[in-house]
Structure 1
Amino acid sequence: MPSRPWRAAATALATVLLVGSVAACGNSDTGDAGNDGKIVLGFSQVGAESGWRTANTTSIKESAAAAGIELKFDDAQQKQENQIKAIRNFIQQKVDVIAFSPVVESGWDTVLKEAKDADIPVILTDRSVDSADKSLYKTFIGSDFVKEGRLAGEWLVEQKKGASGPVNIVELQGTTGSAPANDRKKGFAEATAANPNLKIIASQSGDFTRAGGKQVMEQFLKANPKIDVLFAHNDDMGLGALEAITAAGKVPGKDITIITIDAVKDGMQALADGKFNFIAECSPLLGPQLMDLAKKAHDGEQVAPRIETEETTFTQDQAKAALPNRKY
């Protein structure tokens, strides 16, 4: 009968279409790079708490575009639970590489184990974690925060080496439990221990924000009639503190010596103007290095477990010289 060949052809065609459909679904599930062949990088940012963080985000977005990497970007708004949720979403989306700047140091083992089980390499940027199992992430790229705190403390020791009486220091800490806050405090304390006249009389978190720096500095000034030095864990808190110091009728940079960390443009301008006295640099321009590491991690290449960024320090004259070409 003439209908049988037609039925056979229709069956064969349906089989071909079914096989093609299954194959296509299989390709999309690999999550390798999508149909356009791009590497897909899932990145969870701490938030937008400072000028440093804004510059860091810009560097990452621009570098991803330049490198031809598809970036899935998430803003955790300084909440660890948001970051963990974002990482799990990246795992479900089967991205090729995950990178994130941890809000705090602790509490990451479970979600990092999930990424490892999914065979997705993880890169830590700017901040590290305290996981004992180093195999949970591929590498950590960022600054040596202890060194930054130590450089700030060493400068102060040198400046105050002739002081005969006590030098009262107040400290604006970063986000409680974060790597930069913990490490910068440690480095500064280690360095200033060389001069027993240097005394930290108050230390509190300003959460790396200008508003936090201003609010806590106001409290410091009310509680402590004699403050000689302010050590702020980042420029933004120092800039907020400037407002409180000025409102209290004191001259920043003269009545109170101000030391900060980061060297963003606003901080460098304050240093050039004599309102800050010293800045230890912490570069936010990690984007190009991150994209290079993402490609290597995706290709299974070996990378160093710790990659330190190159940075320097600034005095007033050095800030004046650097400002015209400052990128952040």
Structure 2
Amino acid sequence: MFKLKKVSISLLVFLMAISILAGCNSNTNGKTEKASGGNKGGKIVVGFSQIGAESGWRTAETKSIKETLGNSPDFELKFSDAQQKQENQIKAIRNFIAQKVDVIALAPVVETGWESILKKARDAKIPVILLDRGIKVKDESLYTSFIGSDFILEGENAAKELINLIGADKGANIVELQGTVGASAANDRKTGFANGLKDNPNFKIIKSQSGDFTRVKGKEVMEAFLKSDGKNIDVVYAHNDDMAIGAIQAIEEYGLKPGEDIKVVSIDGVKDAFEAAVQGKTNIIVECNPLLGPQLAQAVKDLKAGKEIPRWIKTEESVFVGKEAAEEALPSRKY
């Protein structure tokens, strides 16, 4: 009996020692997991709310982020497609907060209406990084950084190259295909283009309407422009390539030659636009780089390392004018 009790006591002491050691290890792991968002694999969890897939450019951006973060051992990517509806993005952000992600990446469908949900993210101590479109909020601390282009500069560059192409002394009647109403890209590209034309009053915007950044809607709006004022249109300026391609289809069906009878200017730089330029159907392409995955990944890593990141992380972009420039650039286009 004595020996049995002695063994039992020794076993009990041994088990207690193991329990204490396990408890120490658990605390250490808990700290590590907290620093990485509570993921057992130590990954940085990123929730990405995408606008949708309204254009080739948007699809390229999604692909870049999925390939960069989704295929990396350093990240866990949670993706949500909003189908171009702000209410879906707000719902997605609410879910990301509930899931306690480390960082939220948001490509906002419109500029306004974000204060309430972003305050919830800030209260949860989850930084928000905006992608490719800005927002308007009274308190700019609601988001940490913006990764994307200077949309106003893009519009200004479009106007500058158009004036160079046609000649400042000649002038032109321009129809404008705007992007989604309320989107920062649409607002700024409109403002920038108008800024670029202001010193050349013989370049006039005679009609302007939203084509919602889609090829189908761009064609539909261009058809209406041509029906009402086809003989007076010299140029179509589209806020993105997809609307421009829709406009090209409408011009051809109307019996005119895009790129010749009506000059075509657009922004983004997708492959389809370069192919149209090679065929002489479009004249000026202002690049807007959608391959934001690497910049987002680096920004998130820097944030998790406690580093301060820039308020605006700009993308590098070019302008392509004419058939030769398009032919040279087309083989290397990744989107």
| TM-score using structure 2 length | 0.89
**Paired residue for 2:117, among 111, 128, 135?**
111
- The alignment partner of 2:72 has SS state of helix
Do the aligned partners of residues 158 and 145 (structure 1) sit closer, same or farther apart at CA in structure 2, a change above 3 Å counting?
same
For each residue in 1:160-188, what CA deviation from the matched residue of structure 2 results, as whole angstroms up to 9, or x when unmatched? 33545x62110000000001000000000
Residue 246, structure 1, aligned to residue 252, structure 2 = yes
Q: Cα 1:141–1:67, aligned 2, differ >3 Å: closer, same or farther?
A: farther
RMSD of aligned alpha carbons = 2.6
For 1:63, the equivalent position in structure 2 comes to: 68
Of the candidates 12, 27, 50, which is equivalent to residue 45 of structure 1? 50
The answer as to whether partners of 1:45 and 1:57 remain within 8 angstroms in 2 is yes
The aligned counterpart of 1:321 is: 328
- What is the match of residue 145 of structure 1? 151
Q: Does 1:173 align with 2:185?
A: no
Query: Secondary structure, in 3 states, of the residue corresponding to 2:137?
Result: coil
Identity %: 55
Matched, 1:274 2:280: yes
* 1:291 and 2:302 correspond: no
- Offset, 1:233: 0.2
Q: Which residue of 1 aligns with 2:209?
A: 204
Instruction: Look up the SS of the partner of 1:302 in the other structure.
Output: coil
Shift of 1:66: 3.3
Name the SS of the counterpart of 2:141 in structure 1.
helix
3-state SS of the aligned residue for 2:209? strand
Q: 260-269 vs 30-39, which deviates more? A: 30-39
Mapped to 2, the partners of 1:75 and 1:108 lie a distance apart of 17
Cα deviation 1:87-107 (Å, max 9, x = unaligned)? 010000000111010000011
Question: 1:158 offset after TM fit, Å?
Answer: 2.0
Relative to structure 1, is the Cα distance of residues 27 and 66 closer, same or farther in structure 2, using a 3 angstrom cutoff? closer
Q: Is structure 2 residue 75 aligned with structure 1 residue 83?
A: no
- Equivalent position amino acid for 1:324 in 2: P
Aligned to 2:200: 195
Aligned partner letter, 1:258: V
Q: How far is 1:271 from its partner?
A: 1.2
Q: AA paired with 2:330?
A: L
Between the aligned partners of 1:304 and 1:176, the Cα distance in structure 2 is: 28
My pick for the range that moved more, 167-176 or 132-141, is 132-141
Q: 2 CA distance for matches of 1:90 and 1:57?
A: 18
Contact residue 229 and residue 258 of structure 1 kept, 8 A = yes
Contact 2:168 2:200 in 1 (8 A): no
| Deviation, structure 1 residue 298 | 2.0
Aligned pairs (5 A) from 1:15-54:
30=34, 32-54=37-59
Shift of 1:77: 0.5
CA deviation after TM superposition for structure 1 residue 300, in Å: 2.2
- Amino acid paired to 1:57: T
C-alpha distance 67-263 of structure 1, shift in aligned 2 (>3 A)? farther
- Using structure 1 for the length normalisation, give the TM-score: 0.91
CA distances 1:279-305 after superposition (whole Å, capped 9, x unpaired): 100000110010010111222210111
Structure 1 gaps of 5+ residues are none
Change beyond 3 A, Cα 1:67–1:253: farther
SS of residue matched to 2:157: helix
Which amino acid in the other structure matches residue 290 of structure 1? L
Task: Give 1:193 shift.
Answer: 1.2
